[in-house]
Amino acid sequence: MHAIIDTLANLPDLVGLTQITVLVIGVAVGVVIGALPGVGPLLGTVMAVPFTFGMDPVSSLALLMGIYQGGSYGGALSASIVGIPGTPMAAATMLDARPMAVAGRASEAVTLSTIGSSFGGIVSALVLIAVAPSLATIALKFGPAETAALALLGLTTLGALAGGSPVRGWLMGMFGLLIATIGLDPVTGVSRFTFGSVYLDSGLTLVPLLVGLFGISEVLIQLERPVRAKDATTNVAASIAAFRSVIVRPINYLRSSLTGVFIGILPGVGGVTASFLAYRFAMPFRKKADPEFGRGNPDGVVASETANSAVTGGALIPMLALSIPGDPIVAVLMGGLMLQGIAPGPRLFLNHPEVVQGVFAVFLLGAIVLLPIGLIFIRAIVHILRLPQWSIMASVVMISMIGTYSVSRQILDLAALLVFGAIGYVLRKGNYPLSPVVIGFVLGPIFEANYRRTGLISQGDLLGYIATRPITMAVLAAVVVAIVLPLVRPRVTKPQVGADSAG
Amino acid sequence: MRARLLAAAGLVIGAAIATTSVAVAAFPEKPVTIIYPWAPGDPVDTVLRTFGEHAAAKLGQPVVINNVQGAGGTKSLTAGATAEADGYTLVNNWVAPQIGAKLFNPDLPYDNESFIPIAGVLAIPFTITVAADHPANTIGEFVAWANDSGTKLNYGVCAPQSVPRLVGEQFMRSAGLDYVPVPFSGGCMGDNVTGLLNGSLDVAVSVVPATKRFEGQVKHLGLIADERHALAPDLATAGEQGYEIGWGNTALGWGGLAVPAGTPDDVVAMLQTVTGEVLQSAEFKADLGDLAPMIKYVGPDDFKQLWTDSLDLLRPHVEAILANN
């Protein structure tokens, strides 16, 4: 609390007009980059690094963090309006944002995403400011054993996200796990399922998989049966409904924020996991008046978007306090800091308190300005709804291909994009949910590498080793609960089919 | 139709030949690209960009850094080996993808003969690193501690198929230590160092710049190199401490510049001259500032010899690991 008051009191000294201008530019650029399928905040921050060379440390971080914050949110816009998650983190958002938009609540869905993102960002900023150094030690408590257990917990959401057909969810999760094994084995380095292809050595990557699975398949589905996002209400009514949600569902906002911050602190877990976990945590608390989850429940949108934005502040904690970057974007931010001659780590807080405070202040402001910037973008983006369908779909294909190519500059990624487009189309026709593929694909490698490292570290006595790790035991207990509970609890909800094939 | 197509094809080929010969005469007449395998914004990236600015001034054409990441640098080397051999594409080659990965994976579409050396540019020695609160402060103390504890050491490796892994294991063997290699990802300042911090690992192979990044959290016990390094002049080598591994420059993480085989001799000669001049110039080192100690200029002939030596020296060690997998 003391630190928060300090930062707020010193705000005018810490942040000047330059920093605010740079920050606003960063957030706005981030939103656009996040909304475009394929390109995301990682590419955005990488491309922005050269622009920071002449800046002071706080301004350079303002630009990079702004892109990170804006980009983490931008994906929700394309998820709602065109049915394609602009970033992997928006895949969980889309589960409900898209059905809401199709049901005529497009503005409300995107406004909810904006409020959630801003809320999650602000909570994570406050946590960052208040307790960064002490919370950073959590990152150190999560070694390979704990991370593997947590990935397992994430995988238990597979059945629940399949819209009433757990078997299909598990099946698709298995598919995700399977294709994630392509590439170099994380422990022996042997090539698996690569058929001698150098391209496959580094494994399939998330961007062509996601954009193909959701984006290209969406276009194919629309060719047969156009489904449009609609805006039946006025902007004002939608905004009022969305803002009211903060008062009506404060627990969801808070719970999802804290989930995001916690997952963000852990190295190598990331925003995709956080948004799906927060979504899963929100499911038992469905309000009776709301639609089912997966059919346009506002709580689903709020949970996912709040959590994936809260990850940003969480991820800065171990980077600043221990110089451990939890994800590739934060690694770029760290690179930006080090280019300024400032090494993160425990001594950063002693040697450069002004930089730490400045970074905190800028981050908090970024989360705050995201709200107005997001609302302005919404006004612009809902105009897309008035364009003819053919023009939207043609642009989607073009932008998806350019976006995917620009990330890796590998032509074979476009082939992967089209193959996953075809796979996505077939799966949707068969009413198989797509989100579990993403979860399996993201969590599989995290689980495998860490589980096998745990095996090596335990030197043959895996159970004995786990018994000495209380956090691992606790997380594994949660895994058991997550698997057993749905089996023993009488099912109150009616089964429903094809959660994310609705769009 | 067919005849017209053929004629058109003939024209295109003819034009291509014509432009090639002109290009050699006036090399370079368009921007030169360096394919670079690691993350944008990391220190090596900065070194190459600074090099590019200085080389551009001499070449009269911009030098562009093209980042081709993935698969431990092998994507970059593949792109470099298959690029057009006209001197406009250089590749930043490293021991790990060119020698280490090739030994682990003979299917990679390149070998030492796919490249012509321009110059050795960087040399980064590996270190034996422990958590800051570890009781040992020297390699001797560490070996004594390990022998007293009587357990197998969990030894963190940067990547499963990497040169630092081979170098580190050679050190562990020559020090008579019993260990389990635990491969991580993310490079020698990545997850393996985090493993030291969270107590999963006893010791890791890392690099000197880790001291700066993990200031106060880790300490290096020694450098696995023949001589001390300007980045950390106070850090004694393993050899000085009585644990010689005898691998010479092969134990360094070396990196340099190369062009695809088949590049015209005069173009190669020009690139070699310009590169040598830049790397040895005081202005270049001044511009690099803190990063200057990473530079180690090696002439083309010696650089080529280093490729051969590294390949011969590392081959049996890779074969031993593959036999165990």
Of the pLDDT bands very low, low, confident and very high (cuts 50, 70, 90), residue A499 is: very low
Residue A133 lies in a domain: yes
What is the C-alpha to C-alpha distance for residues A344 and A459, in angstroms, rounded to an integer?
A: 33
Residue B72 backbone class (left: φ over 0; alpha: ψ -120 to 50; beta: rest): left
Number of helices (H), then strands (E), belonging to chain A: the values are: 24, 2
Percent of chain A with pLDDT over 90: 27
For residue A289, the number of C-alpha atoms closer than 13 Å in the C-beta half-sphere is 3
Q: Which single residue is written with the structure tokens 């390990």?
A: B146
* pLDDT score at A9: 74
* pLDDT score at A363: 92
Return the SS3 of A293. coil
CB B93 within 8 A of CB B77: yes
Quote the number of domains for chain A.
1
Of the pLDDT bands very low, low, confident and very high (cuts 50, 70, 90), residue A417 is: very high
Q: Which single residue is written with the structure tokens 């590169």?
A: B275
Residue A224 lies in a domain: no
CB-based contact A184 B182, cutoff 8 Å: no
Q: Which of A223-237, A467-481, B178-192 has the lowest mean pLDDT?
A: A223-237
pLDDT of residue B12 exceeding 60, the answer is no
What is the C-alpha to C-alpha distance for residues A497 and A493, in angstroms, rounded to an integer?
A: 12
* pLDDT score at A4: 75
Q: Which single residue is written with the structure tokens 């257990």?
A: A149
Closest CB from A198, A202, A449 relative to B108: A198
A310-to-A113, A195, A213, A252, A368 alpha-carbon distances in Å: 13, 40, 26, 13, 13
Phi, psi of B88 (to 5 degrees): -85, -10
* pLDDT score at A301: 93
Closest CB from A46, A187, A343 relative to B213: A343
Nearest CA in chain B to A341: B290
Instruction: Tell which residue, B324, B313, B48, B71, has the closest CA to residue B181.
Output: B324
pLDDT of residue A237 exceeding 60, the answer is yes
Output DSSP code: residue A342.
Answer: -
* Residues of B whose CB is below 8 A from A405: none
Write out pLDDT tens, residues A79-106.
888 888 888 889 899 999 999 988 888 8
Best residue of A138, A184, A406, A411 to probe chain B, by most B CBs closer than 10 Å? A184
Closest CB from A201, A268, A457 relative to B71: A201
For residue A444 the two structure tokens come to 């599989």
Neighbours of A17 (CB within 10 A): 7
What is the C-alpha to C-alpha distance for residues B70 and A378, in angstroms, rounded to an integer?
A: 36
> Does A85 sit behind a cis peptide bond, omega within 30 degrees of 0 on the bond before it?
no
The three state secondary structure string of B164-190 is HHHHHHHHHHHCCCCEEEEECCCCCCC
- How many angstroms separate the CA of residue A466 from the nearest CA in chain B? 12
* Residues of A whose CB is below 8 A from B215: 343, 345-347
State the residue range of the domain holding A129. 2-184+235-385+432-501
pLDDT of residue B305 exceeding 50, the answer is yes
- How many angstroms separate the CA of residue B214 from the nearest CA in chain A? 6
Residue, of A409 and B127, whose pLDDT is higher = B127
Nearest CA in chain B to A457: B154
* Residues of B whose CB is below 8 A from A349: none
What is the C-alpha to C-alpha distance for residues A251 and A502, in angstroms, rounded to an integer?
A: 28
B204 at A interface, C-beta within 8 A: no
pLDDT of residue B89 exceeding 80, the answer is yes
Residue A422 lies in a domain: no
For residue A23 the two structure tokens come to 């920050």
* Residues of B whose CB is below 8 A from A142: 198
- How many angstroms separate the CA of residue A462 from the nearest CA in chain B? 13
Closest CB from B66, B184, B213 relative to A345: B213
B216 at A interface, C-beta within 8 A: yes
For residue A313 the two structure tokens come to 């502040």
CA angle A60–A66–A68, rounded 5-degree value: 105
Contacts 24+ apart (CB under 8 A), B262-268: B262/B85, B263/B85, B263/B86, B263/B87, B263/B116, B264/B24, B264/B85, B264/B86, B264/B87, B266/B24, B266/B27, B267/B24, B267/B27, B267/B86, B267/B87, B268/B87, B268/B116, B268/B118
C-alpha A443: how far from chain center: 13
Rounded mean pLDDT, A315-321: 87
What is the C-alpha to C-alpha distance for residues B48 and B166, in angstroms, rounded to an integer?
A: 26
* pLDDT score at A37: 83
CB proximity under 8 Å: B 45-74 to A: 46, 66, 68-72, 74
B320 at A interface, C-beta within 8 A: no
Q: Which residues contact B6 (CB under 8 A, 6 or more apart)?
A: none
b (16+ CB within 10 A) / e for B2-14: eeeeeeeeeeeee
pLDDT of residue A426 exceeding 90, the answer is yes
CB proximity under 8 Å: B 252-281 to A: none
Residue A173 lies in a domain: yes
Instruction: Tell which residue, B143, B124, B248, B123, has the closest CA to residue B203.
Output: B143
Nearest CA in chain B to A196: B107
CB B116 within 8 A of CB B261: yes
Q: Amino acid letter at B94?
A: W
Residues paired with residue B63 on neighbouring β-strands, in sequence order: B32
What is the C-alpha to C-alpha distance for residues A307 and A254, in angstroms, rounded to an integer?
A: 9
Nearest CA in chain A to B162: A189
Q: Amino acid letter at A187?
A: V
Mean pLDDT rounded to a whole number for chain A: 85
Instruction: Tell which residue, A374, A153, A124, has the closest CA to residue A253.
Output: A124
Phi, psi of A310 (to 5 degrees): -70, -25
- How many angstroms separate the CA of residue B2 from the nearest CA in chain A? 30
* Residues of B whose CB is below 8 A from A144: 195, 200
Residue, of A1 and A333, whose pLDDT is higher = A333
Instruction: Tell which residue, A354, A309, A279, has the closest CA to residue A124.
Output: A309
Return the SS3 of A325. coil
Q: Give me the helices (H) in A249-347, please.
A: 250-265, 271-282, 298-322, 328-339
CB-based contact A322 B217, cutoff 8 Å: yes
Instruction: Tell which residue, B83, B84, B28, B85, has the closest CA to residue B55.
Output: B28
Percent of chain B with pLDDT over 90: 6
Residue A443 lies in a domain: yes
* pLDDT score at A496: 46
Rounded mean pLDDT, A255-275: 88
Contacts 24+ apart (CB under 8 A), B226-234: B226/B251, B229/B125, B229/B293, B230/B292, B230/B293, B231/B293, B231/B294, B232/B208
* pLDDT score at A500: 44
Residues present in chain B in total: 325
Rounded mean pLDDT, B87-99: 87
Nearest CA in chain A to B325: A188
CB B43 within 8 A of CB B75: no
Residue A78 lies in a domain: yes
Query: What domains are there in chain B, each with its CATH number?
Result: 30-123+251-324 (3.40.190.150), 125-250 (3.40.190.10)
Q: Is the dihedral of CA B103, B209, A269, A468 positive or negative?
A: positive
> Strand B203-207 relative to strand B153-157: parallel, antiparallel, unpaired?
parallel
Nearest CA in chain B to A469: B200
CB A299 within 8 A of CB A290: yes
Closest CB from B46, B71, B109 relative to A184: B71
Nearest CA in chain A to B212: A343
Residue A399 lies in a domain: no
Of the pLDDT bands very low, low, confident and very high (cuts 50, 70, 90), residue A441 is: very high
Of the pLDDT bands very low, low, confident and very high (cuts 50, 70, 90), residue A299 is: very high
First to last CA, chain B: 58
* Residues of B whose CB is below 8 A from A341: 290
Q: What is the torsion angle, in degrees rounded to the nearest 10, for the CA atoms of residue A435, residue A441, residue A444 and residue A450?
A: -120
A294-303, B46-55, B158-167: which is most confident: A294-303
- How many angstroms separate the CA of residue B157 from the nearest CA in chain A? 10
Q: Which of A226-230, A276-280, B306-310 has the lowest mean pLDDT?
A: A226-230
B191 at A interface, C-beta within 8 A: yes
Nearest CA in chain A to B180: A456
Q: Is the dihedral of CA A401, A80, A316, B199 positive or negative?
A: negative
Closest CB from A140, A335, A343 relative to B212: A343
- How many angstroms separate the CA of residue A488 from the nearest CA in chain B? 37
For residue A104 the two structure tokens come to 């005529």
Phi, psi of B47 (to 5 degrees): -60, -45
Residue A397 lies in a domain: no
> Strand B153-157 relative to strand A183-184: parallel, antiparallel, unpaired?
unpaired
Rounded mean pLDDT, A364-372: 93
CB proximity under 8 Å: B 276-315 to A: 290
- How many angstroms separate the CA of residue A101 from the nearest CA in chain B? 38
